[in-house]
């Protein structure tokens, strides 16, 4: 097991390096110029060109791309991902400060999606081709089909503007009331993000459980005198949830993409919001830093999925 | 007071499956019984309805529907029993052993826990430790070496034969009065088959359970069973005690089955397979379902469905010409 983990970590480091090169080059290959992006066109005047050139040289943007990469890599290895072009704040600091809110939003959403998908998928599978199953299918397809920003805006309209129950933006009220206040801000974005993820997961749980329910060992459990609830929960569900680990882990990056959108809608101070702003201003170091954080998240999730698989399924032996 | 009726009486059972092409009559008016402590073999080709019959005893036929008849166990009709009462019988008074031990055990639960589950489902007061001890005892009883260590292992750590032993241990856990074994040796290697058959015999003697043995293997029936029920196209075509049916078959299908078997005790030059293939149960042929393959078929067979008739002591055949068959069979085997 330890050897497996070490080997996977080494492989992941190589993958991580390659992603770093890819992102670094792609960002610089995009058209546009970060220094020009900082100046609004009406401010351009005589002498501006010299200023722009001076700033480019200062930021090292005139050097050959490989030199730029080497410089960035050496700094990155020592933990320094550079500074934002925009406000010269260190990228690591910017991202770390926003990592917490994003992780809070995503983990809550993940919890919500599982709390919806597992029971609903189970009921749909056990009562398949009945009204409950069709209702679950309609709900799943509904949340898959409706974009989450639309759900977000609708929720803000209903719960913030009309009913006034929940705050519409941010993570806390300025002189706010601690945990309960954060929770109030969290409910809408997390619920919508969770709902969107629950759609496909519900379908998956249903399909996987239907397969397991027709398995021979389920018949054995029934022949032993187990009740339906017991046969489903102790036998079929346990088997059908094993592949769910992988599905959930694969879905985490997708969920992050959803989080980026919802962080915009709800002004949630997470990494997504930062990334959108960085892309808009061509803030290279922040974009690359964000991409590396996401890559690290995906790689770690995959590793966790592999390990969890080996822990949950006695048939899987990792060596 | 217990009635004088046999332990299990299947009377005119019909089981149907609705498919896109139409209604499949998998079992079509089958009747037979199993007495206390008796071993009854049910033989037939694939699709003869033997497994469906076995499954419907405990109500385990998933998509099918009982279209008629009764399944009486100790005088109670299992098919109309409330779900809760049926569950109390499943695994306790009637236990099943399935065909494929590779898939019949839950792969993510230890073998020991699966046996413990069978015990605890029917004895809520049984303590964890006592259930564990009893399960290890059962594993040892079915010839599992190092039972205590095996208790903690998962099915994938067992060979096919060992898994079938574990299945048998699970089936006899609650001392059932009826064991249903659905093709218990079909999925196993030939060498293991003999061991498992021996074990079934031991288990039967140990529990004194009546056994319903579903198989397509006449050799298995000859080895184990007291009586044999021959099924074809969802119907019982012949039944009687093993010696009688094997030496004096009174149905051309049974004759065909016996002639297609290699024999060690007799000099047989050639094996005679039954020509043709079993009929479609979507549209079974009119009259006797066997007539398209029967060497003795006449006009009457094509129109009139033969009913089971007594042809000897405890011996029934559903052939219009059962009486004539004695002479014909002797001629064929000579």
pLDDT tens by residue, B155-193? 999 998 899 999 999 999 998 999 999 988 888 888 888
Does B69 fall in a domain? no
- Partners of A234 on chain B (C-beta within 8 Å) are 109, 117
Contact B142, B179 (CB under 8 A): no
* Surface of B (201-260) touching A: CB under 8 A: none
Residues of B in contact with A220 (CB under 8 A): 96, 98, 104-106, 114, 167, 170
> pLDDT at residue B73 above 90?
yes
Same domain, B39 and B166: yes
pTM score over 0.90: no
Q: Which of A223, A226, A235 sits opposite B58 (nearest CB)?
A: A223
Q: Check CB contact under 8 Å for B122 and A242.
A: no
- Which residues of chain A does B118 touch, with a Cβ-Cβ cutoff of 8 Å? 224-225
Point out the residues of chain A with pLDDT beneath 50: none
Of A220, A227, A238, the CB nearest to B108: A238
Contact B98 A216 (CB under 8 A): yes
pLDDT surpassing 50 at residue B334:
no
Q: Which of B203, B228, B253 represents a domain boundary (last residue)?
A: B228
Name the minimum distance, in Å, from the CA of A109 to any CA of chain B: 29
What mean pLDDT is predicted for residues B84-90? 92
> Where exactly are the structural domains of chain A?
101-282+307-312
Do B118 and B177 lie in a common domain?
yes
* Distance of alpha carbon A240 from alpha carbon A213, whole angstroms: 9
- In a shared domain, residues B113 and B136: yes
B213 and B292 share a domain? Answer: no
- State residue B216 phi and psi, 5-degree precision: -105, 5
Predicted pLDDT at B1: 45
What does the pLDDT read at residue A192?
A: 92
| Closest-approach residue (CA) in chain A for B61 | A219
For residue B269, with 0-12 CB atoms within 10 Å meaning exposed, 13-18 middle and 19 or more buried, which class applies? exposed
Q: Is A315 in the B-facing interface, judged by CB distances under 8 Å?
A: yes
Q: Comparing C-alpha atoms, which of B44, B46, B11 is closest to residue B30?
A: B11
Residue B168 placed within a domain: yes
Residues A214-272: tens digit of each pLDDT: 999 999 999 999 899 999 988 999 899 888 888 888 888 888 888 888 888 888 888 88
Taking the CA atoms of residue B158, residue B162, residue B164 and residue B168 in that order, the dihedral angle to the nearest 10 degrees is -120
Number of domains in chain B: 2
CA B20: distance to chain centroid?
A: 28
State how far residue B8 is from chain A, nearest Cα, in angstroms.
17
Pick the CATH number of A101-282+307-312 from 1.20.1050.10, 3.40.50.10140, 1.10.3720.10, 3.10.20.30: 1.10.3720.10
pLDDT at residue B330 in the model: 53
Residue B269 lies in a domain: yes
Residue with the larger pLDDT of the pair B113 and A254: B113
Rounded to the nearest integer, the mean pLDDT of chain B is 88
Whether B63 maps to a domain, the answer reads: no
| Contact in structure between A223 and B61 (CB atoms under 8 Å) | no
**Are A195 and A150 contacting, i.e. CB atoms less than 8 angstroms apart?**
no
Domain housing B222? 35-46+82-228
Q: Give the torsion sign (CA, B71, B73, B77, B83).
A: negative
Does B62 sit within 8 Å of A214, measured CB to CB? yes
| Cβ <8 Å between B167 and A220 | yes
Each residue of B203-237: pLDDT tens digit?
888 888 999 999 988 888 988 899 999 999 999 99
Give the torsion through C-alpha atoms of B85, B86, B89, B91, to 10 deg: -130
Nearest-Cα distance to chain B for A307, in Å, is 16
A220, A314, A315 member nearest B104 (Cβ): A220
Residue B171: strand, helix, or coil: helix
> Last residue of a domain, which of B228, B263, B297?
B228
User: In the sheet where B22-34 sits, what is the strand order?
Assistant: B22-34, B8-19, B65-73, B76-77
Q: Are residues B129 and B155 part of one domain?
A: yes
Q: Are B154 and B189 in the same domain?
A: yes
Q: Up-side HSE of residue B53: CA atoms within 13 Å toward CB?
A: 38
A215, A223, A238, A239: best to mutate for the B interface, most B CBs within 10 A: A223
What whole-number distance in Å separates Cα of residue A279 and Cα of residue A257? 14
Query: Is residue B97 located within the same domain as residue B205?
Result: yes
**B73: in domain:** no
Higher-confidence position of A267 and B327: A267
Encoded tokens for A55: 């700033």
């Amino acid at each position: 097991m330890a050897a497996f983990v070490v080997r996977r970590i080494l492989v992941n480091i190589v993958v991580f390096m390659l992603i770093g090169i890819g992102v670094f080059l792609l960002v610089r290959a995009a058209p546009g110029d970060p220094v020009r992006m900082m100046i609004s066109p009406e401010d351009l005047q005589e002498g501006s060109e010299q200023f722009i050139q001076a700033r480019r040289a200062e930021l090292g943007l005139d050097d050959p791309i490989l030199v730029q990469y080497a410089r960035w890599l050496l700094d990155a290895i020592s933990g320094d991902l550079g500074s934002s072009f925009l406000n010269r704040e260190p990228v690591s600091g910017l991202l770390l400060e926003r990592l917490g809110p994003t992780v809070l939003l995503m983990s809550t959403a993940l919890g919500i999606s599982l709390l919806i998908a597992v029971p609903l998928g189970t009921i749909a599978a056990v009562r398949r081709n009945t009204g409950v199953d069709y209702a679950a299918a309609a709900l799943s397809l509904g949340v898959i089909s409706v974009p989450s920003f639309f759900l977000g805006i609708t929720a803000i309209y209903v719960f913030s503007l009309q009913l006034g129950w929940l705050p519409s933006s941010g993570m806390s009220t300025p002189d706010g009331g601690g945990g309960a206040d954060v929770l109030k801000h969290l409910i809408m974005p997390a619920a919508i993000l969770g709902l969107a993820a629950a759609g496909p997961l519900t379908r998956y749980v249903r399909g996987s459980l239907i397969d397991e329910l027709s398995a021979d060992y389920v018949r054995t459990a029934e022949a032993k005198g187990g009740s339906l609830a017991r046969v489903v929960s102790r036998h079929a569900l346990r088997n059908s949830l094993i592949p769910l680990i992988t599905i959930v882990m694969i879905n985490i990056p997708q969920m992050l993409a959803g989080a980026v959108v919802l962080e915009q809608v709800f002004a949630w101070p997470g990494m997504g919001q930062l990334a959108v702003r960085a892309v808009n201003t061509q803030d290279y170091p922040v974009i690359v830093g964000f991409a590396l954080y996401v890559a690290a998240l995906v790689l770690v999730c995959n590793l966790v999925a592999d390990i969890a698989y080996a822990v949950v399924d006695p048939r899987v032996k990792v060596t | 007071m217990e009635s004088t009726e046999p332990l299990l009486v299947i009377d005119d059972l019909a089981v149907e499956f609705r498919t896109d092409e139409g209604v499949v009559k998998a079992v079509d008016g089958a009747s037979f019984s199993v007495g206390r402590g008796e071993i009854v073999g049910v033989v037939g080709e694939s699709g003869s309805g033997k497994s469906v019959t076995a499954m419907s005893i405990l109500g385990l036929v998933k998509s099918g529907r009982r279209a008629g008849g009764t399944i009486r166990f100790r005088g109670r009709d299992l098919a109309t029993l409330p779900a809760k009462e049926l569950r109390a019988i499943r695994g306790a008074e009637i236990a099943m052993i399935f065909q494929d031990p590779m898939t019949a055990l839950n792969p993510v639960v230890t073998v020991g826990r699966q046996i413990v589950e069978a015990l605890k489902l029917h004895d809520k007061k049984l303590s964890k430790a006592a259930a564990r001890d009893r399960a290890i005892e059962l594993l040892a009883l079915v010839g599992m070496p190092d039972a205590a260590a095996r208790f903690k292992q998962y099915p994938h750590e067992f060979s096919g034969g060992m898994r079938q032993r574990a299945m048998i241990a699970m089936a006899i856990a609650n001392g059932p009065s009826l064991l249903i074994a659905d093709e218990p040796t079909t999925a196993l290697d030939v060498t293991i088959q003999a061991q498992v058959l021996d074990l079934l015999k031991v288990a039967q003697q140990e529990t004194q359970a009546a056994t319903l043995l579903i198989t397509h293997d006449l050799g298995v029936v000859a080895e184990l069973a007291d009586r044999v029920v021959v099924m074809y196209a969802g119907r019982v075509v012949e039944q009687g005690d093993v010696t009688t049916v094997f030496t004096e078959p009174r149905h051309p299908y049974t004759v065909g089955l016996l002639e297609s078997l290699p024999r060690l005790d007799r000099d047989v030059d050639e094996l005679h397979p039954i020509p043709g293939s079993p009929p479609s149960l979507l549209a079974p042929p009119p009259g006797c379902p066997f007539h398209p393959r029967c060497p003795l078929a006449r006009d009457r067979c094509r129109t009139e469905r033969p009913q089971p008739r007594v042809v000897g002591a405890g011996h029934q055949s559903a052939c219009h010409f059962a009486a004539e068959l004695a002479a014909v069979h002797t001629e064929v085997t000579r």
